[in-house]
Structures are given as structure tokens and as C-alpha cells.
Structure 1
């Protein structure tokens, strides 16, 4: 499904975009949630369950595989809230200032949906205008609820007795599993470079492979710094039979300020 907008809101730290889809997905804007902190996700799930009147059953640290379960539960809740917000928006009228009107006004000018919206506004016949409005609503799309996993944040975890847990209980592995078991149909953004053991782990989940109609339930998005990085990581996943849907290029300038390829030059001059 094509996105309504030609931009997305990337992951920003662990907390800044933890609930961004609730605020923007119903407007067709895609965003990325960090899966770096299952404790934060659990607290946010408690908050939104209370806000929207959903039953909240805590997933505490004593439960087996609690990290993955927390992330799955949180992502499923966000998906429900986003779907409800979207349906509520579509039930509004095209009156001035409504969220439905805002949806179309925010679309890029070259969007075919924006042009169809303008044609509806210009239509003088009331009956025809209503039909055009119905058609517009049918073609509205939700923003994607993508997630981000930093591949190198994959620490070992231990039982209360100090015994090391199997590798699949490592942080990044649990995050991948939490996303894979969620009911989202979206992408996982893998950042911070190649992690052979984590990339190999992806092959354990059918959702990352195309179905009989060559459709993907969940997609792989690689955040890379250059062509060489993209090639190496893409080849590694290809050998596992896993498709890479998208490469997102990220320079040191927008990678949390960790490294700068130049003496502080902005991206514009660099790209020129």
C-alpha cells in the first residue's frame, strides 16, 4: 500500500517517538517506535489502557520471556488505538477544521488524493460531491507503525540465580520476537550495523518471508551509512532468503551526533 505522504517520522531516542503513531498515523503519516526499553513500553501500555478504557494486565519481570511479551502487547495496543482513531476520523464530515479535512489538507500538493480532494471541493453538484467524498474516504490510508531495533544493543540476560539465559532472550533478539509476534503489518528498522547472529535469528519467523502471493506481512528496513554497508548486509540477509524492502541512508549528521563525516557541514552542501 502506498503511503499518503512522502516523508516519515524516524525513531528519535527511546522515548520521544514511543507513541508517535497514536498522534499521527490516522493522518496517513508513518513513524518509527524504538523497541529499546520494554519497561517503558509496559508503562506506556498501562497509561493508554487507562486512557482508552482497555483492561490492563501487568506483564512483570517474573514472567517467562517478559521482554518480548511486553513489546508484543504494547504494539498490539497501539495498533488497536490507531485503527480506532482512523475509523473515527473517517466518520467525520468534510467541515472546516475537522480532522478529516486536516487529513487531506496536509497531503502533498502532487498527491493524486490531494488533487481528488480539490476536485471534490470545486464540485458544485451536491449529489456528485457526496459521491466524491465517499470515494476519497475509501482511498485514505493509515501511516505505518514501524519499529526500530539497534542490532548492537543485544546484551546477555540472566536469571535471578545468575544463570545466563539462551541467546534468544538477549535484548535485541527479544525485541525482534516481540515485533514478529505482534499483529502489526509494517516494517522493522535494523540500525547500528550488521549483527550476524541477530540477522540469522530473523529466519526463524515466517512473517519475514513472502507468502504464496509474494506478499510480506512484515518487512525488513536497513538503516545504513553507505553503499558498502548496504551491500554487505543485504547479501547476508539474501542468503537467508529474507528480502530487504528498503534501505534508509543515515549519515553521522543525523545519527545522534555520534560521528561527523565533515567539520560540521550541513547535509545540503555535502549532497551537492
Structure 2
């Protein structure tokens, strides 16, 4: 059972380094990779801040956008892992980050209850045993990445030559995430982009391993059931599974009023509820057939979550 909780924040500068502020406390967040110039500046900033060697990736270099994104995500992942290891090694004393980690957990959390039990324990040997168990169950927050599917400008070399579809903004950003060390989710928003969705096939991390586990998961932001079903089937035919649908409210963070032609959130959620199992069965059949063609066998459908994305 996961003990992390999620901050659904996007944008540009506001979220570019959010994981460094919250991931060690078990809080997942989403960062945008729209602006690789900002990303490269932030990578330089943190290298200087932590007295590390910074090797710039210049804009004119081959595959610079994707490489900048990969380098930044790997840096964020490495620093979050360091932060989390240091936090988990701290003593359970007032004012420490490890104490803050458990204080931030909701009162309904099983892990929070075990923490409260440990604090109240007077027996030193029992307390040490409980502390070890708590440290073992701690989880850092995920470093998820957002790509706005339709923000997919074609790019050109300095001499005016078209760089090709694989170097468009969205595809290069996806490649940057796919080549990173992250074990997290790519969140695709702002509509369906068949070219981008098809490009997912090029990266093994989006496909399940022999045990059905996914290193990198696909999350789609959708407005209604029909849109979710169409996109899920499109990806399933390629052997790609949608791990989560995030349903955007009528007035979401982009300010798009009633994208579903006036359908309110209640009826939309009811349709997901009533047709969810049917969708999973149909999508899994396509998914399983595609994987068999690739030489992989998966006996049961991976998890598929339905969540609501607020404004």
C-alpha cells in the first residue's frame, strides 16, 4: 500500500523543482517539461548551488531538447534520493524531517497509527523495533512529468532545415522523460496527439516486464468516458496500458469552461463507474493481443485508476 499523497500542480516555473521541496516527505508532484531553456538554467542553478560540475547542453547541439530534459530529470531524481536517504536515517526527535514526514500523514493512515504507537512505547527494545519497521515502510513521493500533447511545434536547424517529426516539441520531451532514470508517470494532457501516442512504442519502459510491472506509467487527462475509451484502445492496440485517467472538472486549471458540451461532472463520473469494468475488459483484450504479438505474456490487467483533477 502506498503511503504517498499527491499535489496536482502544473504550469512552468512554479513546478519545475517542486519534487526537491516535497518528494522526501512522501508527496508526489508533477513537473512540466515544456520549456527546456528554463530546465537547463535550473540544472545549472542547482549544480552551482551544490558545488557540482555543470556541463552545459547548448541549444544547437544534436537532440539538445531531449538531452536537457533527461539530464535535469536525472539530477532531480538523484537529489531526491539523497534527500530521502538522509531523512530516513534521522533520529525520531522533535524538529527532524523524519518526524515531519509522519506528522504530515493523514490520521487515517495505517503507517501514522504505527508511528503514534511507536511514540507512545516506553520499552526501548520495542521502540527500536518499531522504528526500524517504520523506516522500512517509508516511501518518497513520485516525480511525475507532464506533456501537453498539442504543444508540439516542429523545429528547424540553424540553416532552416526541418529537424524531423521525432524532434518536435512534444516528441523530444517524451524522449527526454523516457531516457531518464525516473520510475514514475508521464501525464499527457490537452487532448489526443496520435503522433505522440504512437511514439510511446519506441521506449521499452512503457511496456510491462515479465511480471507485468511498468517502470514508466501512462496517465491521461480526459474530459469524459468516450474520450478515455477511445484513447485507451488506441494505446492498447500498441501494447501500451493507461494506468490512470484523470478527469478534469468543467472549470479546470486551464480555464476551459465545460469542455464536455455542458455535461456536469456527476454524470460523467457515473458513466465511468457503470462502464469501468467493461472498458477494462475490452482494453485488456486489445492490450494482451498486442503484447502476445511482441512476445510477452500478461495474464491479468494492470491496475487502472480513475481520479478527478480539480482546477
Same fold (TM over 0.5): yes
CA distance in 2, matches of 1:251, 1:191: 13
Q: What is the match of residue 176 of structure 2?
A: 178
Per the TM alignment, residue 53 of structure 1 is displaced from its structure 2 partner at its CA by 2.2
Q: How does 1:136-175 map to 2 (within 5 A)?
A: 136-175=134-173
1:109 aligns to what? 107
Tell whether the 8 Å contact from 1:188 to 1:221 is kept in structure 2 after alignment.
yes
**Partner SS for 1:253:** coil
Aligned residue runs from structure 1 range 122-271, under 5 A:
122-260=120-258
Q: 1:15 aligns with which of 10, 13, 20?
A: 13
Helix, strand or coil for the counterpart of 1:179? Answer: helix
- Residues 45, 77 of structure 1: 8 Å contact kept: yes
**Secondary structure at the residue paired with 1:254?**
coil
Deviating more after overlay: 9-18 vs 188-197 = 9-18
Cα-to-partner distance string for 1:214-246 (whole Å, 9 max, x where unaligned): 111100011111111111111110011101111
Query: Given that residues 36 and 149 in structure 1 are in contact (C-alpha distance below 8 angstroms), is that contact kept between their aligned partners in structure 2?
Result: yes
The question of 1:53 aligning with 2:51 is answered yes
Question: For the residues of structure 1 that align with 2:182 and 2:259, how far apart are their CA atoms?
Answer: 36
The corresponding residue for 2:77 is: 79
1:271 Cα deviation after fit: 8.3
In the aligned structure 2, how far is the partner of 1:103 from the partner of 1:148?
26
Q: Deviations over 1:91-125 (max 9, x none)?
A: 21111121110000101111111111011012110
Greater CA deviation, 246-255 or 123-132?
Answer: 246-255
Measure the CA separation in 1 of the matches of 2:52 and 2:246: 36
Per the normalisation by structure 2, the TM-score is: 0.82
> Alignment RMSD, CA only?
1.9
Shift in Å, 1:258: 2.9
- Indicate how the Cα distance of structure 1 residues 271 and 151 shifts in structure 2: closer, same or farther if over 3 A, else same: closer
Query: What CA distance in whole angstroms lies between the structure 2 residues aligned with 1:205 and 1:133?
Result: 40
The structural deviation recorded for 1:256 is 1.7
SS in 2 for 1:21: helix
Distance in 1 (alpha carbons) for counterparts of 2:193 and 2:163: 19
In structure 2, do the counterparts of structure 1 residues 3 and 54 end up closer, same or farther at CA, with 3 Å as the change threshold? farther
* Structure 1 position 259, deviation (Å): 2.4
Displacement of 1:260: 4.2
Give the Cα separation in 2 of the matches to 1:18 and 1:167: 26
Unaligned runs of 5+ residues in structure 1 are none
Q: Say if 1:21 and 1:78, in contact at 8 Å, map to a contact too.
A: yes
Contact 2:250 2:265 in 1 (8 A): no
Find the residue that maps to 2:251 and give its secondary structure: helix
SS of the residue 2:130 aligns to: helix
Runs of 4+ aligned structure 1 residues displaced above 2 Å come to 258-262
Mapped contact 1:11–1:148 kept (Cα < 8 A): no
Give 3-state SS (helix, strand or coil) of 2:172's partner.
Answer: helix
Q: TM-score if structure 1 supplies the norm length?
A: 0.93
